[in-house]
Structure 1
Amino acid sequence: MSKTNVERLLKQSKIDFESLTYPVDLDDLSAEAVARKINYPLSTIFKTLVLKMVENKYVFVVISGEEELSLKAAAKALHSKKVALVPMKDLEDLTGYIRGGVSAIGAKKNFQVLLSDRAIHEPFIIISAGKRGHQVRLNPHDFLSFTQGILFTNG
């Protein structure tokens, strides 16, 4: 099976990870569905959202499947007056990824990364490998150092 860009970059950086795959249902790309299909707790599944700041900068926000994003908390962590979710139709142009396959690793551009502080309480996190049906399981500290991300409290 060919590696995704995310897997190649992690391997090049000598970061331990495990590749996980599951059948894709385009009608349900939720974190809950991923957790069910790969048989891991929802608390370990992390979804990647893309936000636009009023300063016309973009950021990846990586939060647990159990969480809803607090735009206010994200704006505060970014020292931004206001942030908004990027419309789905703009995701691929901005990141090179499509909904259900967005990753903060290996995107077209390196945007700042915010990681929910819930990740640190998990032995591992599972994030998109950059392609629907593909995930990687890795240590949250490795993810933070690789992305040069910052922890934030979501809400």
Structure 2
Amino acid sequence: MKKTNAARVLDRMKIAYELGEYAFDEEHLGAEHVAAEIGLPLDQVFKTLVARGDGREVVMACVPGSGDLDLKALAALAGFKKVEMVPLKEVQPLTGYIRGGVSPLAPKKAYRLFIDASALSFPFISVSAGQRGLQIKVAPGDLVAATGALVGSLVKDR
């Protein structure tokens, strides 16, 4: 299993984590598939989404696989009037990551990161290690420390 830039960031910061491989295919890149493959509840597998605030600044948000990003909540937390999801074709040029492999760690450019507060209720969460088929399990507080993320409520009420 090769180390990704995301894992190297944690290594440099001496943050404990666990890398885990799983089987993936192009048809099933969602958090539901990842959670089933790695044997974790969907609430504990976080997906990293890329958005743009007020038509300019790119930001990233980590939310549980079981939830949908609340764009209004993200806008409020980030200090924007409004936030829109970045079109899929822009994700790789902006982050260096492809869909199904977007990590909150080590994107091509340092974007502000926002993590849903539910992460803090777990001893560890799982996020993409920066490539499809590879996840990082890390303590949420360590992920916040490593990324400088802001934590808040980011999931739409069900």
Same fold (TM over 0.5): yes
TM-score range, shorter chain: over 0.9
Unaligned runs of 5+ in 2: none
Q: Tell me what 2:121 maps to.
A: 121
Given that 1:55 and 1:80 are in contact with CA atoms closer than 8 Å, whether structure 2 keeps it comes out as no
Query: What's the offset of the Cα at 1:55?
Result: 5.3
The alignment partner of 1:18 has SS state of: strand
Report the alpha carbon displacement of residue 87 of structure 1 after superposing the two structures with TM: 0.6
CA distances 1:78-107 after superposition (whole Å, capped 9, x unpaired): 110010000110011000000000012111
1:9 alignment partner AA: V
Secondary structure (helix, strand or coil) at the match of 1:34 reads helix
For 1:97, what is the secondary structure of its paired residue?
Answer: coil
Query: What amino acid sits opposite 2:28 in the alignment?
Result: D
1:126-145 pair list within 5 angstroms = 126-145=126-145
- Using the alignment, how far apart are the partners of 1:39 and 1:123 within structure 2? 15
Residues 78-89 of structure 1: pairs in structure 2 closer than 5 A:
78-89=78-89
> What aligned pairs does 1:1-155 form with structure 2 within 5 A after superposition?
1-54=1-54, 56-154=56-154, 155=156
Report sequence identity in percent: 40
Counterpart secondary structure, 1:84: strand
Report the AA paired with residue 118 of structure 1.
S
Q: Is 2:55–2:83's contact at 8 Å kept on the other side of the alignment?
A: no
Cα deviations across residues 108-154 of structure 1 (Å, max 9, x unaligned)? 10000000000011111100000000000000000001100001112
State how far apart, in whole Å, the 2-side matches of 1:106 and 1:121 are.
24
Q: Tell me the TM-score normalized by structure 1.
A: 0.97
TM (norm. structure 2) is 0.96
> How far apart are residue 71 of structure 1 and its match?
0.5
Specify the SS of the correspondent of 1:62.
strand
Letter in 2 for 1:58: V
Look up the SS of the partner of 2:130 in the other structure: strand
Aligned residues: 155
| Partner secondary structure for residue 23 of structure 2 | coil
Q: Which runs of 5+ in 1 are unaligned?
A: none
Query: Alignment RMSD, CA only?
Result: 0.9
Q: Flag as ranges the 4+ runs of structure 1 deviating above 2 A.
A: none
